[in-house]
Amino acid sequence: MRSSTPIAHCFAALVLSGLATGATNETSDYPPTYQLGNNTAFNSEFIVALQNSLSGGADIGPVLGAVKNIKPGDFDSYHKEFYKLANATKAQAEDPENNYDPINVRDSWFSASQYYRRADVYIHRNWSEPLIKTVWDEQTAAFDNAIAALPIPGRRVQIPSPEGNLTVEAIWYSASEDPYAKLPTMIVGNGFDAAQEDSYHYYCAAALARGWNCITYEGPGQNTVRRTQDLGFIHNWEVVATPVVDYVLSAKKQVVDERRLVLAGNSMGGYLAARAAAFEPRLSAVILVGGLWDLYAGYTSQLPADLLSIYEAGNYTTFDEQVLSLRDVGPEDIGTEAIWGLDYGLWAFKTHSPSEFFNLTKLYRIQDVVHQIQMPVFVGDAEFENIFSGQAQKVKDALGEKSTFHQFKGVAGYHCQSGAQQELARTIFAWLNKTLEIELPYS
Ligand SMILES: *[C@@H]1O[C@H](CO)[C@@H](O)[C@H](O)[C@H]1NC(C)=O
Ligand SMILES: *[C@@H]1O[C@H](CO)[C@@H](O)[C@H](O)[C@H]1NC(C)=O
Ligand SMILES: *[C@@H]1O[C@H](CO)[C@@H](O)[C@H](O)[C@H]1NC(C)=O
Ligand SMILES: *[C@@H]1O[C@H](CO)[C@@H](O)[C@H](O)[C@H]1NC(C)=O
Ligand SMILES: *[C@@H]1O[C@H](CO)[C@@H](O)[C@H](O)[C@H]1NC(C)=O
Ligand SMILES: *[C@@H]1O[C@H](CO)[C@@H](O)[C@H](O)[C@H]1NC(C)=O
Ligand SMILES: *[C@@H]1O[C@H](CO)[C@@H](O)[C@H](O)[C@H]1NC(C)=O
Ligand SMILES: CC(=O)N[C@H]1CO[C@H](CO)[C@@H](O)[C@@H]1O
């Protein structure tokens, strides 16, 4: 077992990153944080599990207890330990004595739900694996119990997209019970592998605490829609996000301040949100965590030169055979992140062919539409971003005066600010306050 890249993938878009040969940065004091074990990929997943505790979605000791029993690089042991923890936490949540107040109810169910999500991370190689459905059903049911116990219960909504021939899956969270409060509202989209339930913890909890309404949504390729509608990722994300804006400005018209309507995109959602914003002038501002320019460039920069040249020579059959046989060898050869990225990426893009996967990523280019973006954009960057290194700067340059560039550094310098969610939220809301001149009393 070997960890071949230095960068945490957080809940991120890092496909095949373990195939990288020269990504290690030996020159700086890297990594800037203490590592949980010697497997970089697992370490970043552990940080994801821990950081949910900021908003009631985890408890530290129980996570570290699971971590203690997980064999580095062993997908099965990772899955089993988090499944076990999730089941145990679910049992606590179901104990009638636990449920004497709504805080107990939501903390226990938020935590159980999050642990089920972690149990799902490494089980996507075999699409017929029944756990892909059963574990996810558990996370969904647990999450629904949790949001029903919020001070103002969250609500799942299905939003039809006639143009996309699909149904967008969303969850609406109100910041106020006042039916006429016109409040700022954040629409949050996740990326490659995170779920909208994760987005509650990373963005909506912080938004609600500051008096913002929040809505999360998922489209093709993302957890719910991939499972229930059998749809892989699409690049024309406006067919997913615009129906959400329609919904917010119609069904929630009375409670939404249309001058303060913000779209946020996390990880690969940094591409998806920017793409959608190019077609959506009704947005007041956009938040990219981080800025993504070109998915194909990002992912292929992680391929060893010899493999990339086979692909670029159009030798697709050989390329697929070589990549899949590297997969068969397991993490010893190409690293945990590569194995995960391949398994998860093929599932999410709904293809069994690595070359088709790379073909598809060529469509995800922000340069084609960036000139159409009309509103202020917060372009986040991470000092230790390796997959999309330099791309946020390109987004910033293309947007010119419309953008505010912010590079998160040091301990906040991982992809998506993994492990520094509080600093991320503080930075974003401070920027929004300045940019949108919000005069509301914060609740
Ligand atoms: C290594 O990290 C340092 C400090 O962040 C940075 O200045 C330098 O450019 C990085 N080098 C490479 C090769 O990425
Ligand atoms: C990683 O740690 C495990 C024990 O937790 C050990 O068995 C393994 O040899 C270590 N691997 C490397 C590459 O150091
Ligand atoms: C978790 O609970 C499910 C359903 O009861 C069960 O099938 C599964 O084996 C349990 N997993 C672990 C690791 O205990
Ligand atoms: C995939 O999972 C299904 C259902 O458990 C099983 O029947 C099948 O043999 C598995 N395929 C492989 C290649 O392991
Ligand atoms: C729309 O989606 C349905 C179900 O996924 C599919 O059967 C149908 O062919 C699609 N229609 C078009 C016009 O793409
Ligand atoms: C494809 O790659 C294989 C292995 O590198 C090589 O033997 C073969 O000649 C290549 N085919 C073409 C058409 O380039
Ligand atoms: C990838 O794209 C190339 C060029 O368009 C095409 O020839 C090839 O068939 C595609 N591969 C797959 C698996 O779709
Ligand atoms: C905390 C903070 O920066 N609040 C500011 C939000 O925006 C209003 C209006 O511009 C300012 O008055 C607040 O000071």
Q: What are the pLDDT digits (tens) for 284-295?
A: 999 999 999 999
28 CA → ligand 1 middle, Å = 6
Contact 208, 255 (CB under 8 A): no
Helix boundaries (H) for 251-335: 269-277, 295-300, 305-312, 316-329, 331-334
Checking if the pLDDT of 351 tops 80, the result is: yes
171 in a structural domain: yes
* Residues 6 or more apart whose Cβ sits within 8 Å of residue 96: none
Residue nearest to atom 7 of ligand 4 (CA): 128
Q: Checking phi first, is residue 124 left (phi over 0); if not, alpha (psi -120 to 50) or beta?
A: alpha
374 in a structural domain: yes
Residue 266: closest CA among 413, 432, 388, 415: 415
Q: What tokens were used for 221?
A: 């390729």
Ligand 3 touching residue 131 (CB < 6 A): no
Ligand 3 touching residue 84 (CB < 6 A): yes
79 in a structural domain: no
pLDDT, one tens digit per residue, over 124-138 is: 999 999 999 999 999
339 in a structural domain: yes
293 in a structural domain: yes
Q: What is the band of 438 on the pLDDT scale with cuts at 50, 70, 90?
A: low
Residue 227: closest CA among 196, 182, 259: 196
407 in a structural domain: yes
Q: Tell which one of 79, 124, 129 to mutate to probe ligand 4, the residue whose CB is within 8 A of the most ligand atoms.
A: 129
CATH number for the domain that contains residue 363: 3.40.50.1820
Q: What is the band of 386 on the pLDDT scale with cuts at 50, 70, 90?
A: confident
Residues within a 6 A CB radius of ligand 8: 433, 437-439
Checking if the pLDDT of 5 tops 60, the result is: no
Checking if the pLDDT of 354 tops 80, the result is: yes
Ligand 7 touching residue 353 (CB < 6 A): yes
Checking if the pLDDT of 331 tops 80, the result is: no
Helix boundaries (H) for 19-101: 40-51, 60-69, 75-94
In whole angstroms, what is the distance from residue 415 CA to residue 194 CA? 13
Nearest ligand 1 atom, CA 389: 14
88 CA → ligand 2 middle, Å = 28
Residue nearest to atom 11 of ligand 8 (CA): 439
Return the residue matching tokens 């991120």. Answer: 12
42 CA → ligand 2 middle, Å = 12
Ligand 1 touching residue 383 (CB < 6 A): yes
Residue 195: closest CA among 139, 275, 150, 145: 139
pTM of the complete model: 0.92
Run of H or E residues at 239: helix 238-250
* Residues 6 or more apart whose Cβ sits within 8 Å of residue 170: 156, 157, 158, 159, 196, 215, 216, 217, 218, 244, 247
Ligand 1 touching residue 407 (CB < 6 A): no
Strand 155-161 and strand 166-173: pairing?
A: antiparallel
Residue 412, domain extent? 153-437
Q: What is the band of 25 on the pLDDT scale with cuts at 50, 70, 90?
A: low
Instruction: Beginning with the edge strand found earlier in the chain, give each strand of the sheet holding 256-266 in spatial order.
Output: 155-161, 166-173, 213-218, 183-189, 256-266, 285-289, 377-382, 403-408
Checking if the pLDDT of 19 tops 90, the result is: no
Ligand nearest to the CA of 363: 7
The CA distances from residue 288 to 45, 148, 320, 338, in Å, are 21, 29, 33, 25
Residue 166: closest CA among 230, 250, 223, 246: 230
Please report the pLDDT score of residue 198 as a whole number: 98
Ligand 1 touching residue 27 (CB < 6 A): yes
413: amino acid identity, one letter:
G
Helix boundaries (H) for 251-287: 269-277
Strand 183-189 and strand 155-161: pairing?
A: unpaired
Helix boundaries (H) for 330-369: 331-334, 336-348, 354-361
In whole angstroms, what is the distance from residue 309 CA to residue 387 CA? 19
- Average pLDDT of the chain is 92
127 in a structural domain: no
Number of independent structural domains in the chain: 1
170 CA → ligand 5 middle, Å = 21
Ligand nearest to the CA of 184: 8
pLDDT, one tens digit per residue, over 180-223 is: 999 999 999 999 999 999 999 999 999 999 999 999 999 999 99
218 CA → ligand 1 middle, Å = 35
88 CA → ligand 3 middle, Å = 9
39 in a structural domain: no
Contact 57, 114 (CB under 8 A): yes
The CA distances from residue 132 to 46, 95, 128, 158, 346, in Å, are 20, 26, 8, 22, 14
Q: Checking phi first, is residue 350 left (phi over 0); if not, alpha (psi -120 to 50) or beta?
A: left
Residue nearest to atom 14 of ligand 7 (CA): 356
Ligand 1 touching residue 389 (CB < 6 A): no
Residue nearest to atom 13 of ligand 7 (CA): 356
The dihedral built from the CA positions of residue 280, 281, 284 and 285, taken in this order, carries a sign that is positive
In whole angstroms, what is the distance from residue 104 CA to residue 112 CA? 12
Ligand nearest to the CA of 166: 5
Q: What tokens were used for 307?
A: 């493999």
Ligand nearest to the CA of 435: 8
Residue nearest to atom 3 of ligand 1 (CA): 28
Check residues 190 and 19 and name the one with the higher pLDDT: 190
* Residues 6 or more apart whose Cβ sits within 8 Å of residue 74: none
Q: What is the average per-residue pLDDT within 160-184?
A: 97
